[in-house]
Structure 1
Amino acid sequence: MFLFLLCLVSLLQIMTINMMTMCKQTQTLPNVPLSIGGGHSHNLLDVLNVHRQKDKVVIVMGATGTGKSKLSIDLATRFPAEIINSDKMQLYEGLDIATNKISPQAQRGVPHHLLGVLDPNADFSADDFCGVTCLAVESILDRDRLPIIVGGSNSYIEALIDGYDKMFRSRYDCCFLWVDVSLPVLQSFVSDRVDQMVENGMVEEVRQFFDPNADYTKGIRRAIGVPEFDDFFRNGPSLDEETRALLLEQAIIQVKDNTCKLACRQLEKIRRLRNKGWSLHPLDATEVYRKRGKEADEAWDRLVSGPSSVIVRQFIYNVKAEVPTNLTAIRVPAAMETAALAAATY
């Protein structure tokens, strides 16, 4: 019996290492300070328990402006969790207003990974994202916390979930939350949000990144809100005040138009993924955006945050009844670990 267990452990250890190696393959990324501290180790149960439950990962999706970041924070304050950013522009350092990064205050103490960590001029591919995200997920799970991946770059999410011969799906059990807002209501909201971003200093922020020889197809300069101001920054200083104001107005209109187009593309992509067979939990937040103040907050709790918490609780514990709010064993049930250790020392 003892020799059989030793052979089983050796075989499963080889299989586990091979699987993790495939998941963590990525291009070399020099000088990228990723906030995924902590080493990775495999305990006995990881290699001994053939039928162990998959590790849990929550993925929050939705078009720009729908409240994905807010929902991820709500969930991370109700369950011990850490957040991984999957917005390709928010990965870069700088342009916090233009890329609409969540502020440290709004993060409410929840650890965030892959947020503002890349050099503004760096190239970063979907494959790079998959590699560093696998590392971040494992690091979070090693701390017995729930990884929540959130962002609007659905091409990155699709590459992560369906790429690498679907290795991510084979290792992790994924719960997809889709925050949806009707397009006319959302377009009105994002238009108002651009005005607020301008009021908060977006133009001056983007001006600091202006380079007449810049390539708007690389790095953070691909972000909406950067190329639209090129004409204003390039020609504005030599024009009279009225013409300069007109150029600024045109740039802001372009930012609004391009943001609305982005929301349409993101929504189409999510629907395509749903038709592809992805099991998404839709959460209609349209009513939230039709209200203001306390009524909007109440609608958010009732229609989005509350239902999401129920879905995640059921997902984590595999039950529909009320459960404790602490996640003492996201990776494996303690009873299962005790049984495995007892068998190993038999």
Structure 2
Amino acid sequence: MKEKVVVIAGPTAVGKSEAGIKLASHFQGEIISGDSMQIYKGLDIGTAKVSKEERAGIPHYLIDECEPDDSFSASAFKEAAQKRIEEINQRGKLPFIVGGTGFYIQSVLRNLDFHDAPSDEEFRNKMETYVRNHGRTALHEKLKQQDEESARSIHPNNTKKVIRALEIRHVTGKTKQPFARREPTTFHYDHIIIGLTMDRNVLYSRINERVDKMVEAGLVEEAKWLYDHYPPNVQAAQAIGYKEFFPYFRGDCSLEEAAAQLKKNSRHYAKRQLTWFRNKEEVEWFDMTAGPREEKIEKMIRWIEGKYK
């Protein structure tokens, strides 16, 4: 018998955390964060972590387990999440993965096989300096000259992946492909994916409103702490919600412009999240646009009960 796990997925600001807590409460479940940035200590407002009070006594895992200058990959997430799923099932509880980082969730459900190439931090820093001086297009052209196949599959704006492909080439003398993940066609768990969706205009309005509330709650101060204490190339500093304020701290834009950029980036991220989940996995979607949310939760409860009779 495969172990059970329920995933609550969807775009940012759609209400995943609230739904996850209510469902876990009903099913005596425990929650694993499926957000790639909630693992970092000190990044609370910008990652929309649920407070201790909001958790309603439900255990939460993979939150506040890394320092902001630690690296945390999909491979590391898979290993940690699978360990928690096994432990929760052994206790007779139902594990819920709640979050919007699609690839992290897929790595767990499909038990993806990662082949990690060695790293070279000095080379990575050199490439980050190169992109600051010459731009993303020039960096991507460098990759195209060395690994044309990877260059075709990696967008020039995805600087992190471009640098990683160049790093693999530099360290091993090989292209990125031998180290790519292997994607199984079967699932590792007896799983359910519940997707929360919403009318796009309503969702975008919620995102804009949430950014305003985050700023009022101290997001700028939280971002300044990250800016002051850690170099800009650490993984945590690349998170949406923090990097948008760095130009403001350098005096390159106003606070209003930084907040507007955060809203824009968050809206684009929400769109990518929806596209990812709709294209990648089988999801039971629940539209959260209108009507009492409690009724939506009741429908989710009946859906889970029907699947796990």
TM-score (norm 1): 0.66
Identity, in percent, stands at: 35
Q: Is the 8 A contact 2:109 2:187 kept in 1?
A: no
Secondary structure at the residue paired with 1:235?
Answer: coil
Q: Is the 8 A contact 2:69 2:230 kept in 1?
A: no
Q: How does 1:11-50 map to 2 (within 5 A)?
A: none
Counterpart in the other structure of 1:174: 191
Q: Distance in 2 between matches of 1:141 and 1:280?
A: 22
Q: Distance in 2 between matches of 1:209 and 1:249?
A: 19
Q: Distance in 2 between matches of 1:103 and 1:212?
A: 24
What letter is aligned with 2:81? T
How far does the alpha carbon of each residue in 1:193-221 deviate from its partner, in whole angstroms, 9 at most, with x for none? 100011111111211111398224x3211
Counterpart in the other structure of 2:270: 263
Question: Is 1:185–2:202 an aligned residue pair?
Answer: yes
Question: Is 1:251–2:255 an aligned residue pair?
Answer: no
Q: Is the 8 A contact 1:94 1:116 kept in 2?
A: yes
Q: Report deviation, 1:101.
A: 0.6
Question: Is 1:311–2:303 an aligned residue pair?
Answer: yes
Q: Report deviation, 1:119.
A: 1.1
Q: How does 1:86-165 map to 2 (within 5 A)?
A: 86-162=34-110, 163-164=112-113
Q: Distance in 2 between matches of 1:145 and 1:213?
A: 38
- Which of 200, 215, 238 is the matching residue for 1:198? 215
Q: Is the 8 A contact 2:29 2:96 kept in 1?
A: yes
Secondary structure at the residue paired with 2:96?
Answer: strand
Q: Is the 8 A contact 2:3 2:86 kept in 1?
A: no
Question: Is 1:301–2:294 an aligned residue pair?
Answer: yes
Counterpart in the other structure of 1:327: none
Q: Distance in 2 between matches of 1:122 and 1:252?
A: 26
Q: Distance in 2 between matches of 1:128 and 1:235?
A: 36
What letter is aligned with 1:230? F
Q: Higher mean Cα deviation, 152-161 or 188-197?
A: 152-161
Q: Distance in 2 between matches of 1:307 and 1:133?
A: 27
Counterpart in the other structure of 1:18: none
How far does the alpha carbon of each residue in 1:276-295 deviate from its partner, in whole angstroms, 9 at most, with x for none? xx33111000115xxxxxxx
Task: Identify unmatched segments of 5+ residues in structure 1.
Answer: 1-52, 237-245, 289-298, 318-346
Secondary structure at the residue paired with 2:4?
Answer: strand
Q: Is the 8 A contact 1:212 1:234 kept in 2?
A: no
What letter is aligned with 1:250? E
Q: Distance in 2 between matches of 1:149 and 1:250?
A: 34
- Bigger Rg over Cα: 1
Q: Is the 8 A contact 1:160 1:168 kept in 2?
A: no
The structure 1 segments of at least 4 consecutive aligned residues displaced by more than 6 Å after TM superposition are: 165-168
Q: Distance in 1 between matches of 2:8 and 2:185?
A: 16
Secondary structure at the residue paired with 2:64?
Answer: coil
- Which of 269, 280, 286 is the matching residue for 1:283? 286
Q: CA RMSD in A?
A: 1.9
CA, structure 1 residues 267+135, in 2 after alignment: closer, same or farther (shift >3 Å)? same
